[in-house]
Amino acid sequence: MANLLIAHGGGPTSVINASLYGVITEAKKYPEIEKVYGAVGGSSGMLTENFIDLKEISDEEILKLLKTPASALGTSRFPLYEKEYERILEVFEKYNIKWLLFNGGNGSMDTCGKIYEIAKDKGIGVVGIPKTIDNDIFTTDHAPGYGSAARFIAQTVKEIGEDVKSLPIHVSVVEAMGRNAGWITAASALARKKEGDAPHLIYLPERPFNEEEFLEDVQKLHEKYGGVVVAVSEGLKNDKGEPVAPPIFRTERAIYTGDVGTHLATLVVKNLGIKARSEKPGIAGRASIMNQSPVDVNEAVEAGKVALQSVLEGKTGVMVGVKRISTDPYQCETILIPIKEVMMGEKIMPDEFINERGNDVTDEFVKWARPLIGGELTDFADFNLGVRKEKI
């Protein structure tokens, strides 16, 4: 008899609790696991021995995890200091923890890999469960959390597109999360059903932003469609690699830049004289339960279950990943990837997913991403009114 510990790391997703659900429900099947500890507040909870026993929580509460955003255990963004790893080993011994599941993104997989290195001689198994809205985890086709963030932005841009079309007097710039990788912003393309549908322009951090071309494109599209919807990644950079939005002010620790969506909208008003506004759902985009992708929820649960099974089978130093077998019909299999490989990089959008002008994604991306949002978006009534030009 020994105990299992599960911890969350980094910014939450709308399905990280679904992976937790998978771990807990699966763990209950194995009598060799005495306690299923949850570290409260991620790695901090491991250091401060702030644990809760997840087997003690009612089935009713556990079931709610499937529809609960954020992290029910609490999470943290702080990396561990070198000497803190030794402390973690002490805690593991004190609590008779033989198995660790660490559920997080790139930063957490790094922590996970380091714990594995120091814990492997003690017979402690360590398995990573991927989690990211940004889809920037290396070596896996995609990771739980992305499909729901993608569905949220697609649904939201589709709805905003209807609004802007029905009242064609402005440009709306929708800012999506993702500092270094444009996967979420790119998924706004899934809002489209026919030519002319929003989003009309998509800007990703993988390509330097060209202000002149942007204004040229907005002008043309405004003439063509009246209302224009632009999707932009919060991490958009210029050709010097600097944020496109100007800095607002500096503190000792950081430079605060303005919102890129607001900045682009301001460019449009100032240079083209066209009314423009911006929308920034921000963290609402990673916490939306109403827009969870059912495929994403299922894959998140599955990742939790497989992680639990794997660590019990003695697999260690690995992360549960997804390998795509086929896109149409959508078919994936769960694989185990050495964490060392995961730690090698950050996955950004490949060239073949971005168009030449850098203002849109390719059909190839849309085909790749479509199954991840878990079914069609709401089909709206369309009276085919044509483009309205009056009184713009």
To a copy of itself, the closest distance from the beta carbon of 162 in angstroms equals 4
To a copy of itself, the closest distance from the beta carbon of 338 in angstroms equals 28
d(CA 74, CA 19): 14
Binding mask 290-319 for a copy of itself (x = CB under 8 A): xx----------------------------
- Closer to a copy of itself by CB, 315 or 388: give it: 388
Centroid of chain to Cα 143: 8
Q: Which of 28, 277, 315, 340 binds a copy of itself (CB under 8 A)?
A: 277
To a copy of itself, the closest distance from the beta carbon of 111 in angstroms equals 14
Count other Cβ atoms within 10 Å, centred on residue 9: 29
Q: Which of 179, 180, 210, 258 binds a copy of itself (CB under 8 A)?
A: 258
- Closer to a copy of itself by CB, 98 or 151: give it: 151
Q: Kindly identify the residues of this chain, within the stretch 318-357, that bind a copy of itself according to CB under 8 A.
A: none
Q: Kindly identify the residues of this chain, within the stretch 188-247, that bind a copy of itself according to CB under 8 A.
A: none
Beta bridge mates, 237: 243
Q: Kindly identify the residues of this chain, within the stretch 41-70, that bind a copy of itself according to CB under 8 A.
A: 41, 44, 48, 50, 52, 57, 61-62, 64-65, 67-70
134 catalytic? Reply is: yes
- Closer to a copy of itself by CB, 271 or 327: give it: 271
Q: Kindly identify the residues of this chain, within the stretch 1-20, that bind a copy of itself according to CB under 8 A.
A: 8, 11-12, 17
- Closer to a copy of itself by CB, 75 or 139: give it: 75
In single-letter form, the type of residue at position 12 comes to P
Of 127, 124, 84, nearest to 108 by C-alpha is 127
Angle separating helix axes 211-225 and 260-272, nearest 10 degrees: 70
- Closer to a copy of itself by CB, 39 or 202: give it: 39
* Tokens found for residue 17: 């609790």
The stretch near a copy of itself (CB under 8 A) out of 279-287, 316-324, 326-334, 366-374 is: 279-287
Q: Is 163 in the site for a copy of itself (CB under 8 A)?
A: yes
Beta bridge mates, 66: none
Centroid of chain to Cα 155: 16
Q: Which of 288, 310, 316, 359 binds a copy of itself (CB under 8 A)?
A: 288
d(CA 324, CA 5): 29
Q: Is 289 in the site for a copy of itself (CB under 8 A)?
A: yes
- Closer to a copy of itself by CB, 21 or 353: give it: 21
Q: Which of 30, 32, 93, 166 binds a copy of itself (CB under 8 A)?
A: 166
d(CA 160, CA 392): 18
Beta bridge mates, 321: 335
Residues 6+ apart with CB under 8 A from 311: 4, 99, 100, 101, 125, 126, 127
Q: What is the DSSP letter of 85?
A: H
- Closer to a copy of itself by CB, 199 or 321: give it: 199
Count other Cβ atoms within 10 Å, centred on residue 327: 15
Q: Is 162 in the site for a copy of itself (CB under 8 A)?
A: yes
Catalytic residue of the set 53, 59, 110, 134? 134
Q: Which of 123, 196, 247, 282 binds a copy of itself (CB under 8 A)?
A: 282
Q: Which of 38, 145, 199, 317 binds a copy of itself (CB under 8 A)?
A: 38
To a copy of itself, the closest distance from the beta carbon of 65 in angstroms equals 5
Q: Supply the DSSP string of 307-351, one letter for each residue.
A: HHHHHHTT--SEEEEEEEEEETTEEEEEEEEEHHHHTT-B----G
Of 104, 111, 149, 159, nearest to 130 by C-alpha is 104
Is the backbone peptide bond immediately before 12 cis, with ω within 30 degrees of 0?
no
Q: What is the DSSP letter of 245?
A: S
Query: Radius of gyration (Cα) for the chain, nearest Å?
Result: 22
Q: Is 255 in the site for a copy of itself (CB under 8 A)?
A: no
Q: Which of 7, 27, 35, 71 binds a copy of itself (CB under 8 A)?
A: 71
Burial class (CB in 10 A: 0-12, 13-18, 19+), 90: exposed
Q: Is 284 in the site for a copy of itself (CB under 8 A)?
A: yes
Active-site residues, by number, are 134
